[in-house]
Chain A
C-alpha cells in the first residue's frame, strides 16, 4: 500500500469501458517550470496541476493509512474512496466552502475523502473518525470511517443507507433557490445506488418546471455495488441519460482524469450557479481497494489508478521529477503516521455520553428520566 507497491502495480489493463480514453501521449519537454504558467498540453495552470496532484496523493496516503489502521486491528471497519481522487479532489477544490445557503451544501457518500482533503480537512479528523475516538468531531465515535460531517463547510452528515442523500439534497437546494445566492447543492453517490427510488425522487424534484433546483447531481460510477457488477443491472445507456428525460443537462466524464474532471466540473458548476438549474454528471472511475474492509481492502490490479496516470502526465510534461513525486508521498506518509500516533493516545467515548445530543440543547431523551 506504500507508494512503491502502487507504482509497481500492473497498469493500463482496462477491464471496463471508460467513456473517454485516458491520455497516453508522452512529452519530453524539460524547460523550467513556472507555477502560474498554463500548461499548454494539459490546459490548466501548473500551480493547479501540482496542487491537484498533491491533494490526490494526500487523500490516497490517508486512505491507505486508514486501511492500515483497520488491518492492525485499530478500527472495526474501513470504507473509503481510494481510486476516486481525480474526481473527488476536483470537486472539493471547486466547492464554495462555507456555512449557510450562500455556500454550497455537500450531501456526500462514503467515498469522499478526496473531496474533503481538497477542502482542507486535516488527516487527523479522518483518523479520529475511523478510530471512533471521543475527539472525532464528525460523529463523536458513533459512526463508521468516511461518514464525515463538517457544518462549517455545509458538509451534512454522511449516512449509511444508500442514496438517501439524493432525497435530502433537494431540501437544501430548495432553500438556496429561494435565497437567490449562488450557493448550490452538490450530491454524490455510487452507480448501484442509483437504482433506489431516491435517485428518481431527486430527478423529479430538481426539475419541476417552475422550480428547477440549483443542484449538481453526481454519480461516482465505479462499476460495482459490492460484488454486483454494473453491466448486469443497468438497462440505461448511461446513468446520466436519466437526467435527459427530465430535460436536464447531463454529462459523462472520465473520472480517472483529474484534468477532465476539473474542467467539466468547473463548467457545470458555473452553469448551475448562473442558471439555477440542475445538472446530472456521471464520472466513470476506479474502485481501487474493493468495496470495504469486508472484502479485504486489498489493491485491485485490474483497475486503473488515477494517480499513476496523472503522474505519468506530469512527468512527461516536465512538471514533476521522480524525486519530487517521492517527496510528496513521503511527506504525507509522515503526516499520517504522526496523526495516528497522536490519535492513539486520545480518549474513547464513554457510556455516560450515550444520551448526549438525543435532543437539541441538552434536553433529556431518556424515558427513565421523564
Chain B
C-alpha cells in the first residue's frame, strides 16, 4: 500500500492530469529532491522557489486571482507564521470583494510533532488555521484520505489548507488507492526517485482514478456507545489503539476522525455525543485557545442536558516549544497513555 507521501504525490499527479493544476511549488519541491518528505517527486509541474514563504503564498494568491489552479507548499508549518496576514487576505478575498474574486488555491504544509523535530520542526497549525475565516482546513490520517482530500482540495473554488501530519508521511495505509498497483514494490519502482543521479529519471504513473472525499465529512473509525473521542491527524491512530485496547476489556468507545477542521462535521459529532453522553477532544496544538475548546464549548452549549460528563479537551501543553529529548517531547503532546487516562476517567464518571 502507498504511504501518505506517495498518496499525496499520486493525488497531485491526478490534479496535473485531470484538474488543470499547472504549478506545484515551494522550497525544494521540484527535482532533484521532490520535497523534504518526497511528496512532490517526479511530477510535471513542480518547481523550486526562492526561500521566501511570503513570496510562496503571494505567488499562489496571484495565480488564484487569475483562476488557475496551483498547489503551494510551506516546507514546515513552523515557517508559515510570517505569512499569516497573507493567509488572512487569501481567506477574505472573496468576501471583501463581495464575490468578485475567488481564491482557488491549495497550501499544504507538514505539521505536528512525533519525529523528534525539536523546537522548530514540531509546531502544530490546526488551531491557528481554524482562525483564518474563508479557508477550508483539512488534515488526513491515512494515505487514502490524503489522496481523496487533496483531490477535493484542488477542485474546491476556495482556499484550502492541507495539513500533513508529518509523523504519518511514511506510514503505509491499509486500503489501496483507486488505481494503485497492488504490489508496494511495483509502486515504489514506478514513482519513487532512485538514490543518486536522478537527472534522467522519470516517474511512471499508474492510471489513477478519482476518489471523492468531500471536505467537511468526518469518519467513524471505531464504533462504540459509551464515550466519543473526536480527533484528527496522527492522533487518530493513537485513539484507535486506545479504543481497541478498551474493546478487549469490553468497553465501547467511538472514535471520530474529523478529517476536515473547517467546515467540520458537526452532525456526525453531535449524533455520536447524543448516543454516548461523553466526549473527549484530542489534538496536539497548544491547549489555550485550542480548536478542541471550540468543539467542547459547542458541545456544552448545544448538548448540555444530554451529557453524562463534562466535555474534555486533551491537547499539547501551552509551552513555547517542543523540546528535543524524547522525555520532553512525549510529555508535551498527547501520547497513548494520556489518551487512555482521559478516557478511563471519562468512562468512570457517573452523573
- Residues in chain A within 8 A of chain B (CB atoms): 100-101, 105, 136-140, 142-143, 147, 149-151, 156-157, 159, 161, 164, 166-175, 178, 185, 197-198, 201, 204-205, 208, 356-361, 363-365, 367, 370
Contacts and interface: CB of A to CB of B under 8 A. Distances in A.
Interface in B16-61: 22-23, 49-50, 52, 54-55, 57-61
B98 A170 contact: no
A168 B101 CA distance: 13
B328 interface: no
B89 A161 contact: yes
B96 A171 contact: no
Contacts of A357: 94-95, 97-99
Given A137-B98, A175-B66, A360-B157, A205 B134 contact: no
Nearest to B105: A171
Contacts of A201: 52, 54-55, 58
A350 B32 CA distance: 54
Contact of A174 (B62, B99, B298): B62
B86 A167 contact: yes
B321 interface: no
A138 B98 contact: yes
A99 B54 CA distance: 26
B68 interface: yes
A172 to B, nearest CB: 4
Given A138-B98, A138-B100, A157-B101, A167 B134 contact: no
B96 A142 contact: yes
9 contacts: A136-B98, A138-B100, A149-B97, A171-B64, A205-B50, A360-B94, A364-B263, A365-B134, A367-B263
Contact of B52 (A156, A204, A356, A358): A204
Interface of B: 22-23, 49-50, 52, 54-55, 57-66, 68, 85-86, 89, 93-102, 104, 133-134, 136, 157-158, 216, 262-267, 298
The 10 lowest CB-CB distance pairs between A and B, nearest first, are A171-B62, A167-B58, A140-B98, A360-B157, A357-B99, A370-B266, A201-B55, A171-B63, A172-B62, A175-B66
A204 B55 contact: yes
A317 B61 CA distance: 47
Contacts of B101: 149, 151, 156-157
B66 A159 contact: no
A207 to B, nearest CB: 10
A174 B23 contact: yes
Given A136-B98, A168-B89, 15 more contacts: A157-B96, A166-B58, A167-B59, A167-B86, A168-B58, A168-B62, A168-B65, A171-B58, A171-B61, A174-B62, A201-B58, A356-B95, A358-B95, A359-B136, A364-B263
A33 to B, nearest CB: 41
Given A357-B98, A358-B133, A370-B216, A178 B22 contact: yes
A159 B216 CA distance: 29
B54 A197 contact: yes
A359 B95 CA distance: 8
Nearest to A360: B157
Contacts of A142: 95-96, 98
A356 B99 CA distance: 8
A171 B134 contact: no
Contacts of A358: 94-95, 133-134
A175 B96 contact: no
B65 A105 contact: yes
Nearest to A208: B50
A151 B134 contact: no
B63 A174 contact: yes
A21 to B, nearest CB: 38
Contacts of B266: 367, 370
B290 to A, nearest CB: 16
A159 B89 CA distance: 8
A39 to B, nearest CB: 39
Contact of B102 (A136, A140, A166, A360): A360
A172 B86 CA distance: 15
A136 B98 CA distance: 9
Contacts of A208: 50
